[in-house]
A and B are shown apart, each in its own frame.
Chain A
Amino acid sequence: MGRRVFITGLGLIAPHGEDPVSIFDRIYRGDSAVQLVRSGTADFGSDLPLATVDFTAKDRIPKTQQLFMARASQMAVVAAEGALQSSGLFGVGQEGAEDGEIGVYMGCGLGGAEILQEGYRTYFVRQSRRGRPSTVPMIMASGPASHISMRFGLRGPTHTYSIACASSTVAIGEAFRAIRDGYLDTALSGGAEAMLNDGSIAAWERLGVLANSHIDGPEASSRPFDLERTGFVLGEGAVLLVLEAESALQERTVDPIAEIIGYGVSSDAFSLTEPHAAGQEAAMRSAITDADIEREEVQYVNAHATGTPSGDPIEIEAIKNVFENHASNLAVSSTKSVHGHLVGASGALETAISAIALQKGRIPPTANLTNPDPSCDLDCVPGYGREVPELTVAVSNSFAFGGSNATLVLRKV
């Protein structure tokens, strides 16, 4: 057994805002952050339900730094500052070499998607080969991690995991392992994604996985496990967690939010876009074994469930196969119903929500679940959250395009 690892800080730039407690309260009430957004132009674009973030770097990041940061990096840096502040570690990187040994483990899918779009616009639309010289360093998926390291003077490993929808879950899992196994005492870990630019959205639309606006309004568009689900709602944001070894907690006063106790990964080796129950099961089993608990100890699953017609029942099947008789005792909810799918930042947001759920003894719901799909016949916590004071162990799933699966197990402190 390695060292225990705790979540000691959270920083969020999310569709529901920036304050972790009020974000959780809105999610707990099933209050959706999804809105109808026009992308593109008046005559060449579309209106789609999206979970955008009300964020500007103005007055939050020095102007000259902003110039060289894509939106994902800007949000990541501000979220990282919040995480460091909430853990009481803010400013630590600037003080001494020893403190600089903090790692940055980030997930990100598309990096500076809007910068790439601008580069292509210059080339193909303006017929110019003279795009911005800083285009390349701004589009890197590793940009958010690098900017966090530079801004806060963090000199440990700076790693980016670009594994589509599992990116930030893997990032957190790998940071957890590095700390547990003694390679590192502290890490900032999470994900950032900002790809709600017109070109990226048009590409997503063509894939046919996005939700249509629901007849009850755009806020009802993300409806995992519901018969009327039509796909997922793309979101954006940055979510950072501070992870620390048990030893670090003895050196200062800090109240951990939750403990990470297990991490499991697997690959489907099956399809680029279709999920596969066997692979998902392997990730969950591996995480539970890693946590050294009995599966019957798990009470809540924050599901990956994005709201696509094909994906949700497969995850339910996988959960049933892993938990067998205990599956019917589980609460299984998809908070994507209210915050959308943040792709490379989704796992981090859902891990943060699961951690707060454990801290508060409150299970968040699946909103918009009014007409359950019979093939999703577990307790999916429809509509409104549930007080469960004895809530102790939660699982958070992230299953990516390309068949990469990742599961984290968290425990109440």
Chain B
Amino acid sequence: MRAYSYLAEVLADKYDVDEDKIRPEATLADLGLDSLMVVEFLFDVEDEFNIEVPDDRAEFETLDEAATLIDELIEAKGD
């Protein structure tokens, strides 16, 4: 779960999401991110971990699923 804490931090700091709402089962829509904010958020994450989220894998729902996907991509990159 390397990615989860980073996702939570960016959501709170940059997207001003209430920390109480940031939970593994929350979706980005629940947290008030519209579609443009979601792509920008993914961009932040990709930049941080130097990965690329392929379009066909960006269909996660919850924060937990997003973190799992990103962890997998980090691992696949072999850091």
Contacts and interface: CB of A to CB of B under 8 A. Distances in A.
Contact of B40 (A63, A67, A130): A67
A310 interface: no
A63 B43 contact: no
Interface in A63-91: 63-64, 67-68
Given A62-B16, A63-B16, A68 B43 contact: no
A62 B16 CA distance: 8
A134 interface: yes
B7 to A, nearest CB: 16
A137 B36 contact: yes
A133 B16 contact: no
A38 interface: no
A67 B43 contact: no
Given A63-B16, A64-B15, A67-B14, A133 B46 contact: no
Contacts of B39: 133-134
B15 A133 contact: no
Size category of the B interface is 10 to 19
B26 interface: no
Nearest to A133: B39
Task: Identify whether the interface residues of A are mostly helix, strand, loop, or mixed.
Answer: loop
A312 to B, nearest CB: 45
B38 to A, nearest CB: 9
A132 B37 CA distance: 11
A8 B16 CA distance: 35
Nearest to A62: B16
Given A63-B16, A67-B14, A134 B40 contact: yes
A245 B20 CA distance: 48
Nearest to A136: B36
Contacts of B46: 130
Contacts of A67: 14-15, 37, 40
Contacts of A68: 36-37, 40
B79 to A, nearest CB: 18
Interface in B5-37: 14-16, 32, 36-37
Contacts of B47: 130
Nearest to A128: B47
Nearest to B46: A130
A63 B12 CA distance: 11
Contacts of A130: 43, 46-47
Interface string A114-134: 000000000000000010111
Given A64-B15, A67-B14, A132 B43 contact: yes
B9 to A, nearest CB: 14
A267 to B, nearest CB: 37
B3 to A, nearest CB: 18
Contacts of B16: 62-64
A142 to B, nearest CB: 16
A67 B14 CA distance: 8
Contacts of A134: 36, 39-40
Given A64-B37, A68-B36, A133 B14 contact: no
A133 B39 CA distance: 6
A130 B50 CA distance: 11
A63 B10 CA distance: 12
A132 B14 CA distance: 15
Nearest to B15: A64
Contacts of B37: 64, 67-68
Interface in B33-68: 36-37, 39-40, 42-43, 46-47
A133 B14 CA distance: 16
A134 B34 CA distance: 12
B31 to A, nearest CB: 10
A62 B36 CA distance: 16
Interface centre among B16, B39, B46, B47 (most CB of A within 10 A): B16
Nearest to B36: A134
A7 B25 CA distance: 52
Please provide the 6 A-B residue pairs with the shortest distance between their CB atoms, ordered closest to farther: A133-B39, A63-B16, A64-B16, A133-B43, A134-B40, A64-B15
Interface of B: 14-16, 32, 36-37, 39-40, 42-43, 46-47
Interface of A: 62-64, 67-68, 130, 132-134, 137
Given A68-B40, A137-B36, 6 more contacts: A63-B15, A63-B16, A64-B32, A67-B14, A68-B36, A132-B40
